[in-house]
C-alpha cells in the first residue's frame, strides 16, 4: 500500500504505480478509490471521456423531423433532435440567454421556446426569436445559436464528442458499416456549454 500523501489523486497515482511494478504473481486489484474518487473521475473526464465518442441515444428515438429527447452527458445537459432538414443534431440544452434549460423530456416540436424569457430556437439550434432584444444595438441573433456538438451515427447509434478527437477515427470508420443517416459533424468551439452559458450572452 502506498504512503498517503493527503491529495487523493496523488494517493491513487502512487498506488497504481506501485501495482504496475508488481510481478504477475503478486498482482492485486485497483485501490477502491480508483472507482469512487470524485477527484479522479474529474481527471478521467477531462483527459479521457470528453475526448472519446460517447453514445447518447438511438435514431429510433427520433424517427421524424422535430422529434427530440434530452440527455445528460458528463454532467452537461444535451438536446438530441432530428431537425426539419432530417439531420440529427446534438445541441447544448442550455439557453444562450441566462442558462435555463431549453427543453425537457422528449417529444416533437417545430421549435424550442425557453420558458424563462421566451427565447425561441429552431430545431437546428439557431435562434429564431429573442423578445425585447431585436432592437438592441449590436445584438447578434445569429451568434446566439445553441452550440452544436459533433455527431456521428453508426448502425443507428448516435455518438457525440465534447472535444475534437485526437485521431481521425470516428464511429462508422475502419470497416464499420456506414449508416445511411444524415449526420452533422462540426466541432463546437467551446469547452463545455454549461461553462460558456453560465452567464448571459445577450444584453438583457
Is 100 near ligand FES (CB under 6 A)? yes
Half-sphere exposure of 165 (CA within 13 A, CB side): 16
Q: Write the CB contacts of 52 (distance below 8 Å, at least 6 apart in sequence).
A: 161, 165
Among 90, 114, 133, 150, binds ligand FES (CB under 6 A): 114
Is 116 near ligand FES (CB under 6 A)? yes
Count of residues near ligand FES by CB under 6 A: 9
Cβ of residue 131: shortest distance to ligand FES, in angstroms?
A: 8
Cβ of residue 118: shortest distance to ligand FES, in angstroms?
A: 6
Is 13 near ligand FES (CB under 6 A)? no
Q: How far apart are CA 122 and CA 96, in angstroms?
A: 13
Helix (H, G, I), strand (E, B) or coil at 14: helix
Is 94 near ligand FES (CB under 6 A)? no
Among 68, 69, 112, 119, binds ligand FES (CB under 6 A): 119
Is 158 near ligand FES (CB under 6 A)? no
Is 120 near ligand FES (CB under 6 A)? no
SS3 per-residue string spanning 137-161: CCCCCHHHCCCEEEEEEECCEEEEE
Burial class (CB in 10 A: 0-12, 13-18, 19+), 2: middle
Q: How far apart are CA 132 and CA 34, in angstroms?
A: 50
Q: How far apart are CA 148 and CA 158, in angstroms?
A: 14
Which CB sits closer to ligand FES, 69 or 119? 119
Which CB sits closer to ligand FES, 40 or 119? 119
Q: How far apart are CA 153 and CA 185, in angstroms?
A: 10
Cβ of residue 97: shortest distance to ligand FES, in angstroms?
A: 3
Q: Residues 130, 141: contact at Cβ < 8 Å?
A: yes
Is 12 near ligand FES (CB under 6 A)? no
Binding mask 22-61 for ligand FES (x = CB under 6 A): ----------------------------------------
Residues that bind ligand FES (CB under 6 A): 95, 97-98, 100, 114, 116-119
Amino acid at each position: 500500500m502506498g504512503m498517503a500523501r493527503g491529495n487523493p489523486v496523488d494517493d491513487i497515482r502512487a498506488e497504481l504505480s506501485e501495482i504496475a511494478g508488481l510481478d504477475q504473481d503478486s498482482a492485486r486489484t485497483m485501490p477502491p478509490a480508483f472507482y469512487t474518487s470524485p477527484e479522479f473521475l474529474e481527471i478521467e473526464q477531462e483527459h479521457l471521456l470528453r475526448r472519446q465518442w460517447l453514445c447518447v441515444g438511438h435514431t429510433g428515438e427520433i424517427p421524424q423531423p422535430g422529434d427530440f429527447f434530452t440527455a445528460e452527458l458528463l454532467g452537461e445537459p444535451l438536446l438530441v433532435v432530428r431537425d426539419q432538414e432530417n439531420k440529427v443534431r446534438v445541441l447544448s440544452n442550455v439557453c444562450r440567454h441566462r442558462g435555463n434549460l431549453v427543453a425537457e423530456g422528449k417529444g416533437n416540436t417545430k421549435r424550442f421556446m425557453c420558458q424563462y424569457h421566451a427565447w425561441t430556437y429552431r430545431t437546428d439550434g439557431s435562434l429564431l426569436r429573442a423578445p425585447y432584444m431585436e432592437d438592441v444595438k449590436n445584438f447578434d441573433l445569429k451568434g446566439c445559436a445553441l452550440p452544436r456538438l459533433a455527431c456521428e451515427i453508426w448502425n443507428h447509434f448516435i455518438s457525440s464528442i465534447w472535444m475534437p478527437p485526437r485521431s481521425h477515427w470516428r464511429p462508422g470508420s475502419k470497416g464499420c458499416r456506414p449508416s445511411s443517416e444524415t449526420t452533422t459533424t462540426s466541432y463546437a468551439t467551446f469547452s463545455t456549454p454549461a461553462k460558456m452559458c453560465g452567464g448571459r450572452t445577450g444584453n438583457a
